Structure 1
Amino acid sequence: MISTPPITITRLDLQRLERLLDSLEDYGPAAEALETELTRAQVVGHDEVPAGVVTMNSRVHCREESSGKDYHLTLVYPQDAGPEGTVSILAPVGCALLGLTVGQHIDWPGPGGKLLKLTLLDIEYQPEAAGDFER
């Protein structure tokens, strides 16, 4: 069963992500998953988001529970994905990370349909906590 913990996003991220969805030529499963996440999120101002919440351009430390492997990922817009350590918001794990709070975990289908469990261990950088509202 897929776990969907409560999530929080900023109003600015919501606006930018809605524009992204509106601009997509191919509105496939990734866009649908992101839209679902946006509709269930608690939306707050950029100055109200807690420091332990994953927002766009946050760098996170997480662990895949079955393998014990740690990841350091930066959640980015699709045009910024590519460099090692970045994950697009339109990737299944990127969409699932948005709005999570430290300590929460997500389940998502991996290759071959295997269910993977990722636990958010730390937010290494969050633009809002750093006062970087233009990212």
Structure 2
Amino acid sequence: MHAMVNVHGERMLTDLDFSRLTKLVGHHVPPVLEHLLANADITSSRAVQPDVVTMYSRVELVDAHTHRRQVLTVCYPQDAEPAAGFISVLSPVGISLLGLKVGDVAKWQTPHGEECAAMIESIQFQPEATGDYVT
């Protein structure tokens, strides 16, 4: 159940997201999240581009194989409601999306071993783009 970090482009995290995610480390987080935190470019919440997936961003994905569209919001584990489209950042798909940009392809593996890939078609909502720098 590991996210694969095969993406087009670099990962960008806001300083607030980085700080909060760092606090999760040591609480049984997937190694790929530790890798992401160690290698991501960090920027201020006020400077992050609106096409970057940050925490609580609502993204529209297009499945690379089926072309099915899906809207997901990347959230912290306590707010996860998969049936409502709120996906934990600790899940394979959540980790694979965080820090990518519109047009990037996220790849991950399901708990059953299925390889998945989806292009980020758009970001419907990003907290920072609306002036929310503390969510």
Superposition TM-score, scaled by structure 2 size:
0.89
List runs of 5+ in structure 1 lacking aligned partners.
none
Cα distance in 1 for partners of 2:42, 2:131 equals 18
- Show the counterpart of 1:100: 100
Number of equivalences: 130
Choose from 5, 12, 25 the match for 1:21: 25
User: What displacement does 1:31 show?
Assistant: 2.5
List runs of 5+ in structure 2 lacking aligned partners.
none
- Show the counterpart of 1:88: 88
Percent identical across equivalent pairs?
Answer: 37
- Show the counterpart of 2:62: 63
Q: Quick one: structure 1 residues 84 and 47, their matched pair in 2 at CA, closer, same or farther if it must change by over 3 Å?
A: same
Cα distance in 1 for partners of 2:5, 2:87 equals 20
Worse overlay, 109-118 or 120-129: 109-118
Q: Quick one: structure 1 residues 18 and 58, their matched pair in 2 at CA, closer, same or farther if it must change by over 3 Å?
A: same
Contact 2:60 2:71 in 1 (8 A): yes
When the two chains are superposed, the root-mean-square deviation of aligned CA atoms in Å is 1.6
Q: Which amino acid aligns with 2:96?
A: A
- Show the counterpart of 1:8: 12
Superposition TM-score, scaled by structure 1 size:
0.89
Moved over 4 A (4+): none
